[in-house]
Structure 1
Amino acid sequence: MKNTFLPAALFCLGLLGSPALLHAQTAAAPTASPVSKATMAQQLDDYVRQYEKAGLFQGTVLVADQGKVVLEKGYGLANREKNIANAADTKFRIGSLTKQFTAAMVLQLVDKGQLKLDGKVTDYLPNYPKPAGDQITLHHLLSHTAGLPDYTAQPKFVTEVMRTPQEPTQLVALFSALPLEFAPGTKFSYSNSGYVLLGAIIEKVMGKPYAQVFQENIARPLKLKDTAYDTVEPADQRRAAGYVPTANGLVKTPPIAMTVPYAAGAITSTAQDLYRWSQALDGTKVLSAASKKLLFTPVKDGYAYGWTAFTAKMGPDTVAVQEHNGGINGFASYLVRVPKSQQVIVLLDNHSSKALADLRRGLLRVLYQQAPVAPVLPAAPASPAAAPVALDAATLNTYVGVYELAPTFRITVRQREGKIFVQATGQKEFETEAASPVLFTLKGVPAQVEFAKNAKGEVAQLILHQGGHDQPAAKVE
């Protein structure tokens, strides 16, 4: 077995964001008496305030239950230099939430007979290099099963590409000549390149820019007045600025040319518009019933077309959940849907938060009248020690448990003879070496695991550090 540790099922958060699946706590809570809308709103607000106070969230939250908005509120500042507060109608870059719009646009053209899901890339872009162009279908692109290398992960992306305006043909050229990472359809691997290709195909078939097709086919018919392709949106005082944390506090994020994320991540929106979008998906105004079913039907590793879809245990209930997240230059986002109970959670952040997965998990638990887990406080950066750190058994035992990164991928932590061992789903067990009281290096794998505590001092999270990415996993057992 290859000693990679990171499986294909594990989604690494990159420039444009990637899906992180919802974990539902395994311990079922007894069914509670219904609470009033006002009480529910206060409970939800109190929970978000914990994240704001801990420095883990600033942005806008919208939560709906049974088709009614329960909480709709801004937290923190949209623009720190101008002292403008976040509000319910503040505009944010939504990163990879863009993909669900691109997927819907493709399926609309499928409904009209202008595209075919089994159509090959070369059917629409004849000059795309072969043999890959003859092997990859639109289905593969939509479901991240094409095997395309991610153009945002290429060596010169940050230094030469990210801040330079690009045409779709230039973006495609960044990866089209590279070898496929696997045979199309055989594996899942999240790649922004697939959605860039979909954007280029939409433009070729429609004979119009992606931004225009989006406005004509999605935004205008659904009255999403505050949702647009970033480069064509006018200046607006309601637009949030993106920030990144530094040793000296939050600073404005370095710029990015928004033609670079393109159909994979260049849309801006508001919590209100994203809720309208979610409501529109409940009917057939956007897509036919058959295409809507495809939009939410998982292909591999829980990923459908621009959405992840799975079932989660919430107390005595098992519910179907549909969601996606995004992250781009100072912004992070989440859109979560529970169609059965008409629940929607929209989280839009403008300070590079890595805590949105935990926040949306807690908000769902509040909706189901279960006690939410307290925010996990960020740990101080740990530097690997020159020599291994010796820890007592009592400390090590606090780390023992099961941590979930996705419904189908867990990391089990064990303690034997004063050492920590970790084992990921479907992989062998790895011994670790303590680099600090909370940071452990895996032997034989270029990766580390770090343990984080919540406000009560309980170990509540494992963070996997690998390949330049930090992937949090909630403790579930």
Structure 2
Amino acid sequence: MRYLRSTTTFLCLLCITIASCAQSPAVKSPAEKIRQLLDKYNSYKLFNGAALVAKDGKVIYKGGVGYANFEWEIRNTPDTRFRLGSITKQFTAMLILQLAEQGKLKLDGHISDYLPYYPKANGEKVTIYNLLTHTSGIPNYTGLPDFFSRLARNPSTPKEFIPVFSELPLEFTPGSDYKYSNSGYFVLGAIIEEVTGQPYASVLQERILTPLHMNNTGYDKAAPIIKKRAAGYERNGDSFVNTAYIDMDVPYAAGSMYSTVEDLYLWDQALYTNRLLNAASKTTYFTPFLKGYACGWMTGPVTLGNTKDTLSSIAHGGGINGFNTIIVRIPGSKDLVVLLNNTGPAPLEEMVQNILAILYNKTYKAPVKPAPAPPPAKTLTAIAPDTAAYRLYTGKYELAPNVVMAISTEGGHIYEQLTGQARFEIFPSAPAEFFMKVVDARISFKKNEQGVVDQLVLHQNGKDIPAKRVE
């Protein structure tokens, strides 16, 4: 009898436990939370692409959202190939350090030691290391006023293109300051070709892609048929349009690669080994020089969600017509976040912070649906410019860590330029209010109580993003 009573009690408790479990919501895994987060960003048209997340070196999530091709409604997948933009730079830097390790060039050697056609007035002043760390002072060619109108569509060889910027005055003494410059990495590509006697794309394939079995990665060109290559788009109000054409000879060693999230995981894992570089060279590769920039990588803390907690990271973003990309590595725990987007600018830094918050069980703010887009910029009418007031706005404004919008003037025109992107003219629509024609975005400048312009606000994709003046 006692046995039966205890068994009955046990069965009752078991039933209560099962009923209780059935009524409680299932605990979601980090992978499921990440999937739902990406779906939310996609539903708000804030992210359209592929993602991969690794924890402790192991992939816990990979997937795609939205379309690789909107016209044919072909979905993004983990093996969709995206243009990388400036993520290319870490591969170019790797090739340079490999050549240095093999004694084929010296990091303290100068441009003129390797490129006989580079003007010696500047070429004898700038070292290879200056080029790697954006401390050369060479003006950024994508920031030239006529870059998109005159240069971006035209195929050329490195030797033909380098004169576009090589004879311009240096912006500062090499090694004394940091300023992001695609020109420096373009020159590094030309040096790789000169030293090896091979095209940049061949050296890249032979020294990195083939050894790492990165079979879905390469140097992008418009003509070849590249399977599963995503098309690039830009926002136009609340919808998307095909992005403007750019000849991939122009970004070259600074931004012409394509890849997948899966291949970039192979790349990440290889960087924890000595397969590509020895330990000493890897130290040079990842050690920052000025402003946290190493050799093709930005180092610094990344915030977890909306907390004050941070992790030490090695990262780089990329932006090229129709594409926005980011790779963030957490060496201390071998975590990795890769986001590749094919609909122009996206809030990738915010997404990384939220994904890392999920991995570390921290709080974060869910994405907010943007307000209806304002009238497209092309419908706005420029007013007569008050060029005298332009000097009040010139300076640098920090939108996010390591993301600065520089406002400059030239010849009665005013321009904006985001870190790592091209310079674009902005047009006055009202006092202290400007709009862009290349994307649907507006910029307004704000004064403090002393009447000094101390911030700007970027209005884009339904968001108002303030930026404090830092210089």
TM-score norm. by structure 1 comes to 0.75
Task: Tell whether 2:121 aligns with 1:113.
Answer: no
Instruction: Report the CA distance shift for 1:114/1:434 in structure 2 as closer, same or farther (over 3 A).
Output: closer
Contact 1:385 1:435 in 2 (8 A): no
Q: Once the two structures are superposed, what CA deviation does each residue of 1:57-110 show, in whole Å capped at 9, x if it has no partner?
A: 000010000111111000000001111000010000000000000000000001
Contact 1:52 1:75 in 2 (8 A): yes
Give 1:344 deviation, angstroms: 0.5
1:212-291 pair list within 5 angstroms = 212-231=202-221, 234-247=224-237, 249-291=239-281
From 343, 351, 361, the counterpart of 2:335: 343
Q: What corresponds to 2:124 in structure 1?
A: 134
Structure 2 distance, partners of 1:357, 1:377, is 17
1:50-449 pair list within 5 angstroms = 50-231=40-221, 234-247=224-237, 249-312=239-302, 314=304, 319-378=311-370, 380-381=373-374, 405-406=400-401, 440-442=445-447, 448-449=456-457
Structure 2 distance, partners of 1:409, 1:244, is 21
Q: CA RMSD in A?
A: 3.2
Moved more, 313-322 or 140-149: 313-322
Seq. identity, %: 43
Q: Report SS of the residue matched to 1:340.
A: coil
Give 1:440 deviation, angstroms: 4.6
Give 1:374 deviation, angstroms: 2.2
Q: Once the two structures are superposed, what CA deviation does each residue of 1:218-251 show, in whole Å capped at 9, x if it has no partner?
A: 1011110011011288413411100011137211
Q: Report SS of the residue matched to 1:370.
A: coil
Contact 1:378 1:452 in 2 (8 A): no
From the two aligned structures, give the one with the greater helix fraction.
2
Tell me which of the two structures has the higher relative contact order, counting C-alpha pairs closer than 8 angstroms and 6 or more residues apart: 1
Structure 2 distance, partners of 1:122, 1:149, is 17
Whichever residue aligns with residue 116 of structure 2, its letter is P
Give 1:128 deviation, angstroms: 1.5
Whichever residue aligns with residue 448 of structure 1, its letter is L
Structure 1 distance, partners of 2:88, 2:46, is 23
Structure 1 distance, partners of 2:201, 2:325, is 21
Instruction: Report the CA distance shift for 1:332/1:115 in structure 2 as closer, same or farther (over 3 A).
Output: same
Structure 1 distance, partners of 2:343, 2:468, is 21
Structure 2 distance, partners of 1:312, 1:254, is 32
Give 1:140 deviation, angstroms: 0.4
Unaligned regions of 5+ residues in structure 2, if any? 1-25, 384-397, 406-430, 435-442
Give 1:126 deviation, angstroms: 2.4
Structure 2 distance, partners of 1:99, 1:448, is 30
Structure 2 distance, partners of 1:378, 1:461, is 10
Whichever residue aligns with residue 336 of structure 2, its letter is V
Structure 1 distance, partners of 2:81, 2:347, is 20
Structure 1 distance, partners of 2:459, 2:209, is 43
Whichever residue aligns with residue 82 of structure 1, its letter is W
Whichever residue aligns with residue 76 of structure 2, its letter is N
Q: Once the two structures are superposed, what CA deviation does each residue of 1:283-320 show, in whole Å capped at 9, x if it has no partner?
A: 11011111111111111111111000113465696532
Q: What corresponds to 2:465 in structure 1?
A: 462
Structure 1 distance, partners of 2:161, 2:454, is 30
Instruction: Report the CA distance shift for 1:37/1:66 in structure 2 as closer, same or farther (over 3 A).
Output: farther
Structure 1 distance, partners of 2:81, 2:27, is 26
From 44, 48, 53, the counterpart of 2:34: 44
Structure 2 distance, partners of 1:453, 1:239, is 26
Q: Once the two structures are superposed, what CA deviation does each residue of 1:134-158 show, in whole Å capped at 9, x if it has no partner?
A: 1100110000000010111112211
Contact 1:377 1:453 in 2 (8 A): no
Moved more, 445-454 or 313-322: 445-454
Whichever residue aligns with residue 202 of structure 1, its letter is I
Give 1:339 deviation, angstroms: 1.2
Structure 2 distance, partners of 1:409, 1:439, is 15
Contact 1:447 1:465 in 2 (8 A): yes
Give 1:47 deviation, angstroms: 1.3
Give 1:375 deviation, angstroms: 2.0
**Which structure has the greater CA radius of gyration?**
2
Structure 2 distance, partners of 1:43, 1:76, is 18
